[in-house]
């Protein structure tokens, strides 16, 4: 997969050289190109922004540097045999970035990221490139960043670990909380390793019992406990038929029961988690 990033803070993308993404690059799975947007400015002050039409606070990133930067890197990519680019635009007004979207992006051969500072990029840039390629405007969550660079790191890491040959078997992603086919979209419960006692704290007995069935049940109960506590929205959206009898018993202990129409769960009493 080829990745291009155009930014006014190329140093902010240094983490792409280390850890998992760095490993993916070293293994030849990822070909990363970081570009300084200011290379496509032609005035003394390397201006990349200007005041918004219609007034209002903040500055808007100008069309010309983005257009020239994107044209240049797209020409380079096509010349070196790459095809089918997609534009990824981090923005608080984008669609939520999810594991499902990470999987979709990981199946594309070439991603071009345009992290913006200030109040965003002149809309004509997205409109222009949307006539030539798919555009994904993505938000990584309901909070405000100073710019899109951190979002590029988030998206890149989530995508890179899905590329074939990047994760070893030991760290395989089939059990990810949000992986399709994981425990019906429950959060993972707690995990433990040696030593068996630490500062007077033991490992739950069941994990030392060797009873695989009981261990699986305990893990599932802990997953239900965590999900009801931290992400009730995930339970509320679930079809009660997605849970077996023991799940429903646990949910009831946790204070949840199916809606009368049988399609959703709701919390009926508060329970000490």
Residues with catalytic function: 92, 119, 161, 176
Task: Please measure the distance between the N-terminal and C-terminal CA atoms of the chain and give it in whole angstroms.
Answer: 44
Quick check: helix, strand or coil at residue 75? helix
Separation between Cα atoms, residue 13 and residue 153, nearest integer Å: 7
- Residue 77 or residue 115: which is nearer to ligand 97T going by CB? 115
Separation between Cα atoms, residue 122 and residue 60, nearest integer Å: 6
Taking the complex as a whole, how short is the minimal distance between the CB of residue 144 and ligand 97T, in angstroms? 4
Q: 126: which 2 tokens?
A: 């997205």
Taking the complex as a whole, how short is the minimal distance between the CB of residue 146 and ligand 97T, in angstroms? 7
* Beta carbons within 10 angstroms of residue 248's beta carbon: 16
- Which residues lie near ligand 97T (CB under 6 A)? 90-92, 116, 139-141, 144-145, 147-148, 151
Taking the complex as a whole, how short is the minimal distance between the CB of residue 45 and ligand 97T, in angstroms? 22
Taking the complex as a whole, how short is the minimal distance between the CB of residue 58 and ligand 97T, in angstroms? 11
Separation between Cα atoms, residue 89 and residue 111, nearest integer Å: 10
Q: CA 28, 22, 155 angle in degrees (round to 5)?
A: 100
- Detail the residues annotated as belonging to a binding site for S-adenosyl-L-methionine: 140-145
Asked whether 38 and 48 are in contact (CB, 8 A), the reply is yes
Sequence-distant (≥ 6) Cβ neighbours of residue 65 within 8 angstroms = 37, 38, 40, 41, 48
- Residue 6 or residue 238: which is nearer to ligand 97T going by CB? 6
- Residue 48 or residue 186: which is nearer to ligand 97T going by CB? 48
171 Cα distance to chain centroid: 17
| Closest residue to bound ligand 97T by CB | 148
- Residue 141 or residue 204: which is nearer to ligand 97T going by CB? 141
- Residue 231: φ, ψ to 5°: -140, 60
- Detail the residues annotated as belonging to a binding site: 140-145
């Amino acid at each position: 997969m080829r990745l291009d990033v155009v930014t006014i803070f190329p140093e902010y993308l240094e983490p792409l050289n280390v850890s998992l993404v760095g490993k993916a690059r070293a293994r030849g799975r990822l070909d990363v190109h970081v570009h300084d947007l200011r290379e496509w400015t032609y005035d003394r002050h390397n201006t990349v922004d200007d005041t918004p039409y219609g007034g209002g606070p903040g500055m808007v990133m100008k069309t010309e540097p983005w257009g020239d930067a994107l044209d240049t890197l797209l020409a380079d990519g096509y010349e070196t045999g790459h095809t089918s680019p997609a534009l990824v635009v981090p923005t608080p007004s984008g669609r939520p970035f999810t594991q499902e979207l990470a999987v979709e992006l990981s199946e594309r051969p070439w991603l071009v990221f345009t992290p913006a500072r200030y109040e965003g990029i002149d809309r004509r840039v997205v409109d222009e490139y949307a006539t030539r390629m798919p555009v994904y405007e993505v938000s990584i969550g309901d909070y405000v960043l100073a710019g899109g660079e951190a979002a590029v790191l988030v998206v890149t890491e989530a995508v890179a670990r899905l590329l074939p040959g990047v994760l070893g078997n030991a760290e395989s992603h089939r059990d990810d909380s949000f992986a399709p086919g994981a425990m019906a979209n429950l959060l993972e419960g707690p995990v433990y390793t040696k030593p068996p006692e630490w500062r007077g704290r033991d490992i739950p007995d069941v994990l030392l019992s060797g009873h695989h069935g009981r261990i699986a049940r305990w893990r599932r109960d802990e997953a239900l406990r965590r999900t009801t506590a931290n992400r009730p929205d995930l339970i509320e959206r679930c079809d009660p038929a997605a849970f077996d009898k023991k799940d429903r018993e646990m949910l009831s202990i946790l204070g949840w029961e199916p809606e009368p129409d049988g399609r959703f769960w709701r919390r009926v009493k508060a329970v000490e988690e």
